Amino acid sequence: MAPGEKRNTTIYIGPAGWSYADWEGIVYPSGTGYDRLLYIARYFNVIELNSSFYRVPGEKMISSWRERLSTVPGFRLTIKVNGKFTHDRKYAPAELKAFVGRFSPLHEAGISGPFLLQFPWSFRNTPESRDYLERLAPFFEDRPAAVELRHGSWDDPATLDQLSRYGFAFCNIDQPLIGESLPPSSHVTDPDTGYIRLHGRNRKDWFRSGAGRDARYDYLYSRDEMEEWSSRAGEMIGRVGSLFIITNNHFRGQAPANALQLKSMLEGGVIEAPASLIRAFASLRDFASPPPGEEELDF
């Protein structure tokens, strides 16, 4: 690509995960008898697989995802790398190779998006940490991967240079700005892949001892806050081939609501959203309407 030349960027927007009990009746219609993964894929072109952080999915499950998602043109499933490789960091190299290889069926079907390597706030910018990133790079040579760093010590041009050399995309994040937390950004280190993750700004529970996952990610972004991220995404558009934007403020359907809001801002115009979600979030009513066939909304 010639200097100054802009790329055509495909934008992927969606939530982190899709299987939450507290989404029933808000994101999903109440009842059974339908595929929730395919239901949510009606409204988003990407979902981040985050259950893989806790346990490695079996081959049958991956085969099922491949079969079901192959019916949705252009859909991508990004893959959160298991915590053994980002948090514990105690394993045999063959284990990481096997983890990456486990998702080959999705890669071969053109369904998989980038792997996400999310490191904890305690992972600081030290020589040992930089060496660890270097050792990880060969495992992802033929697969796109993004690195999420949360500690502010990584807010350094040298970090961007290092990730660029290794072919890693820098994961731009939104998180509560407490102490030495990494601030929001719009960095690009890989011309093929851009990545954004929005965690919410729940300062009260972010570092609170005993706060569960739901409490930590209980946050609904305001319109002004979404416009901030629409602007940052706009700075990345034209610089990458694909831009992945993931909302992780999942509690009670807030992630899908904010993802659809941001999707409307970036695409322009009114988009489709589940009637139950529009009913639950008044902030969506300027951006979305239910698809044909769903009941009329009565506000």
The CATH class of 10-289 is alpha beta
DSSP of the chain, one letter per residue?
--TTPPPPPEEEEEEB-S--GGGBTTTB-SSSSS-HHHHHTTT-SEEEE-GGGTSPPPHHHHHHHHHHHTTSTT-EEEEEPPHIIIII----HHHHHHHHHHTHHHHHTT-EEEEEEEPPTT--S-HHHHHHHHHHGGGGTTS-EEEE--BGGG-SHHHHHHHHHHTPEEEEEE----SSBPPP------SSEEEEEE----HHHHS-TT--HHHHT-----HHHHHHHHHHHHHHBTTBSEEEEEE---GGGHHHHHHHHHHHHHH-S-EE--HHHHHH-GGGTTTEEPPTTSPPP--
Domain boundaries, the chain: 10-289
Q: What tokens does 157 get?
A: 């041009």
Q: Write out pLDDT tens, residues 227-245.
A: 999 999 999 999 999 999 9
Picking from 235, 234, 243, 156, the residue whose alpha carbon sits closest to that of residue 192 is 243
Alpha carbons 166 and 134: distance in angstroms, whole number: 7
Q: For position 299, what pLDDT does the model report? A: 39
Tens digits of per-residue pLDDT, 166-211? 999 999 999 999 989 999 999 999 999 999 999 999 888 777 777 7
For the chain, what is the mean pLDDT? 94
**Using one digit for the tens of pLDDT, what is the confidence trace for 148-177?**
999 999 999 999 999 999 999 999 999 999
Report residue 298's pLDDT band, with 50, 70 and 90 as the boundaries: very low
Read off the pLDDT of each residue in 57-72 and give the average, rounded to a whole number: 97
pLDDT at 292: 84
Give tens-digit pLDDT for 27-62. Answer: 998 887 889 999 999 999 999 999 999 999 999 999
Q: What is the pLDDT of residue 135?
A: 97
